[in-house]
């Protein structure tokens, strides 16, 4: 397991937030990894995912959004969220200037990362990784949250479960198809939005976390060849 270093970085208009830097010895990539709406960077999913990514050769900078650091339940305004993503990418680049950069995260964190790219806020990011893209609220199927993705010009990896209530695959598949070569969809059978799987899948949650990490690393290596 790679060592973890805690750092802090400033977010314009929102003070400082903490981040956890994990760089394995044989890292080939750096991922600015954002948490979802309901749990922070130290949630067990985020910790275990970062561990598996390190094993797969992907360094991570896990970071906190300002509202989570202030123990508020309601997320910051989109302007603050995307500014935080941009600041995190800058901090990750400074921490590992020799590594190619990815951005993304769990649910809302991934969507805000793509919003930041679409708005031209992220320089030097080679690709985006969505650990459960939140296409719509539960039981409210829609593709409105994906409209900005047409403005994203870097490769995108969608890691999605078949039981994800925030992303009906019957809607997400056409979205990815429309994005063409920019989008790669990797589906995990029986996984929900938290990537918990059913026993009948024959896999454990730990297996799924490893699959998420190894798929991310393999996809990143492929886009680097193009």
Distance CA 121, CA 70 (A): 24
Angle separating helix axes 108-118 and 78-95, nearest 10 degrees: 90
- Tokens 């956890």 -> residue: 20
Q: How far from the centroid of its chain's Cα atoms is residue 82's Cα? A: 13
Q: Residue 1's pLDDT is what? A: 65
Ordered per-residue pLDDT tens for the chain, 226 residues: 678 999 999 998 889 999 999 999 999 999 999 999 999 999 999 999 999 999 999 999 999 999 999 999 999 999 999 999 999 999 999 999 999 999 999 999 999 999 999 999 998 999 999 999 999 999 999 999 999 999 999 999 999 999 999 999 999 999 999 999 999 999 999 999 999 999 888 889 999 999 999 999 999 999 977 6
Angle separating helix axes 44-55 and 205-225, nearest 10 degrees: 50
Distance CA 216, CA 172 (A): 19
In CATH, which of 3.40.50.1820, 3.40.190.150, 3.40.1390.10, 3.40.1280.10 is domain 4-225? 3.40.50.1820
Q: Residue 123's pLDDT is what? A: 87
Q: Residue 201's pLDDT is what? A: 86
Strand pairing class (156-161; 183-188): parallel
* Contact criterion met (CB below 8 Å) for 168 and 160: no
């Amino acid at each position: 397991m790679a060592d973890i270093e805690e750092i802090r970085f400033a977010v314009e208009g929102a003070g400082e937030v903490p981040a956890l830097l994990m760089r394995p010895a044989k890292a080939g990539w750096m991922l600015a990894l954002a948490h979802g709406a309901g749990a922070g960077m130290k949630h067990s999913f985020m910790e275990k995912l970062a561990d598996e990514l390190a094993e797969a050769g992907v360094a991570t900078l896990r970071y906190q959004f300002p509202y989570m650091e202030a123990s508020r339940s309601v997320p910051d305004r989109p302007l603050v969220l995307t500014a935080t993503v941009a600041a995190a990418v800058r901090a990750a680049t400074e921490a590992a200037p020799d590594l190619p950069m990815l951005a993304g995260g769990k649910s809302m964190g991934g969507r805000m990362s793509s919003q930041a790219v679409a708005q031209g806020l992220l320089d030097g990011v080679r690709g985006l990784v969505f650990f459960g893209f939140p296409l719509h609220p539960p039981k409210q199927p829609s593709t409105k949250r994906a409209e900005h993705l047409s403005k994203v010009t870097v490769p995108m990896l969608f890691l999605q479960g078949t039981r994800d209530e925030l992303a009906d695959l019957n809607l997400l598949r056409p979205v990815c198809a429309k994005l063409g070569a920019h989008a790669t969809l990797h589906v995990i059978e029986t996984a929900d939005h938290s990537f918990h799987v059913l026993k009948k899948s024959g896999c454990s949650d730990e297996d799924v976390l490893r699959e998420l990490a190894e798929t991310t690393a393999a996809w990143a290596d492929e886009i680097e060849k193009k």
